[in-house]
Amino acid sequence: MNMSRDKNEDKKMIQVNNVREESGEHVPKVSVIIPFHNAQSHLEEMMDSVEAQTFREIEILCVSDGSEDDSIKIIRERMEKDPRIHRAGKAQCRSCKKQRFGMCSGEICCVLGCR
C-alpha cells in the first residue's frame, strides 16, 4: 500500500473527527460571533438559545463593543460553565467586520447581532 495514501487517509480521519493533528486541540465546525454593546437585557436569552443548539461542534465568540453594563459579567459567568464560549476584548465591532471573521476557527462563521 502506498504510504502517501495512508497519510492522506489519516488526515481525512482527523478532519472528520474535528481534531487538529499537531496539538489535539478541538476545532469547531461552526463559529458563532456575538458582538454586543450594553446588551444585558437580552444577552442571557440569546446565549441560552445559542448554547442550547443540538449541534454541539461550535465555538461562541463574544465581542464587546465597549459595554458599560453587566454584559461582560454575564459572558464571564457563561465562560466558566461552557468551554465553547470565548470573549474578545473591546473591538469597536461596527468598523471591524474583517477582524471578527479573522477570529473564527470554524469552517462556517456566522454573526448574531445583540444590540
Cβ burial of 35 (10 Å; 0-12, 13-18, 19+) is buried
CA distance 40 to 69: 7
Q: What is residue 27's predicted lDDT score, i.e. its pLDDT?
A: 79
CA distance 20 to 27: 7
Q: State how far Cα 74 lies from the chain centre.
A: 16
Q: What is residue 104's predicted lDDT score, i.e. its pLDDT?
A: 80
Whether the predicted model's global pTM rises above the 0.75 cut:
no
CB 1 within 8 A of CB 9: no
Q: What is residue 1's predicted lDDT score, i.e. its pLDDT?
A: 44
Distances (CA, A) of 32 to 4, 7, 13, 62, 86: 36, 32, 25, 8, 10
Q: What is residue 87's predicted lDDT score, i.e. its pLDDT?
A: 87
Q: What is residue 2's predicted lDDT score, i.e. its pLDDT?
A: 45
What pLDDT tens digit does each residue of the chain (115 aa) get? 444 444 444 444 334 334 344 455 667 899 998 888 889 999 999 999 999 999 989 999 998 888 889 999 999 999 999 999 998 766 554 545 545 566 788 888 888 876 5
